[in-house]
Structure 1
């Protein structure tokens, strides 16, 4: 395992240098593109020269187990690090917009994606039961706009819009995991859950995650204010993430939501009261953790192409194309509905259509979707779902991510908000 992690870190470092010196792409896009090209070149060599040049790569991805690694490892660190760096004041003015998008939009997108996908695939003779289509809708609905945000900020993205995009992505990861758990219960359970069961599960996961996050955040706050030693502070924050997430898994509440809440608590209430000579290096450490894990994640996503299999080329390409189109349509509708309601009630002063266009194209999908797809129990539908998930994620990062800077000018971005 140590060797595999070393290989992954080494490849990520090499790709980062190549991207910085020659490609000049946004980091996430460049890393995934290079990893994807490596996978494809090795696959072509294996097929044309009858040389097994890809077995080591398959072993690398399988032994690292991206699903387990991300869901029960990397994700908790990334969410804590990301939320600890967000100022609550920047989210406060747009709290209703953020909550509407993180909960309402994610829920609408999940249901709409499921129904549209099952229907449209059926038109082309590809069968996917509605229950499995809803599972796909749940795992693909959360957004990961890291690449888009970096490009948009360079183009002059207004701070309120940046805070809204950031806030939505922080919370919809947790909501997406909860919806995925609920959808999976309808697929795999021996007894079908009722609507009330689903609502209770949703409330337990969300409210339980918020409650646990507040408790963990307060305990961390209490301990951090009683030490000025950098090493001790570092240990406390690492224990906060690992132990807090482990407890969430044990008591069946949302770990992602708990980590976001704990990160916001510590970053906004505790950090300002910690000594400057400790606070600065801790922030640098966690930013480094966030950047490194994001880089590793995008490289791992590029390697997942070797698992796109088990389907004939024609149905595979058709299914991916349908999934991409359905996801874009569902994202557009699911964003426009809450934004239109908020603007009509004067809660939000903005051009709802322009804002929807931005949030649709900036709504990239990331590693969480792939990890959830790969975590599905073995079934005839799993291969199709993994293939479609990879297609949507790759399209969103490589196509949407690389074109967003050209589609949205500084003037367009500044004209979205009216206040």
Structure 2
């Protein structure tokens, strides 16, 4: 895949590229590589070609922001003629009669939906494997691609598609984007709330460039102005590499990525100082309670006896949380007050995205609950608190490990409404420190 989504769409709009041919090439790449990468639960080959032909015949082709662009959607998406499995064999396989909001907006923008990407059961975990496949990191297939949008990240990082949709409840866009060397944006809860996990889960884009991220965000949010990436004026950025509250050690190369990014941002004129919010101890309890109880509520629509062993344990814990009344608005309000305190003196927070290296790829769904919880909490020390607060955050590639060859990354967080600022800062990092767009480059 040589062209970006922006380039594909521009060429299709100009009549220089045929959407059917673009889709055929994407399907060829999927057929050649997905046996190793495991990104897709379902490839819509026949349907996608028909959709591409329909895009080519649209009278408004010249105005479509994603004209003819092959896009993958996470397997939680309502798509006419398909069913969303949510990574489970315990749910309904009844086909949706109509597109949900995400699919409808993608199609309206001219995108061609080529498939549904692999997720862990009920999207609970930061590794995406199911009984019929494992989403692997294209940079090194012995590692997991992350989760829960791991299949989407693998599809983009392997160059199978230029763009993918994801959702993020505790880091589920940013973690796989970081592991696979992509840009991944979690919008604020006020922009693209997905509705799950007591408002913590939001839809978001995964892409190889900042410009592609912006255009997909603008389509998902139905907000065309977000496609324009600004050149931000100088802002105050607080930098921290300490895992909130837990203070667990962060690998040196992940810490070094933050220092490198801070140097580039300082050279662009921004003021960088060591600083972090005053994280309240109740924050961890509040977001963990929602991570447990959210899937427990979702599981009511599934056959509990057929859920995976780790999921059944998670659901039991979530029901205990519900009965104990631990979903307390004041816990979130207290954390937001602390976050607002920090953002009164800083426009942005800069941290690592990952608090540990990715886990190895494997059949994690066959393991017990604790065997999944322990590596999950090690990975996600910097992400979930911003779902809890509802603040936007973006992951940006920063380089590659000299030891493992895996990507490194940083996270930028802004106050609500700061998505354009985050895209602008990410574009400055991209210009100062260009990254290989895919593992196939």
The TM-score bracket by the shorter chain reads: under 0.3
Which one has a larger percent helix, Structure 1 or Structure 2? 1
TM-score normalized by structure 2? 0.25
Which one has a larger percent strand, Structure 1 or Structure 2? 2
Bigger relative CO (Cα 8 Å, ≥ 6 apart) = 1
Tell which structure's C-alpha radius of gyration is larger.
1
TM-score normalized by structure 1? 0.26
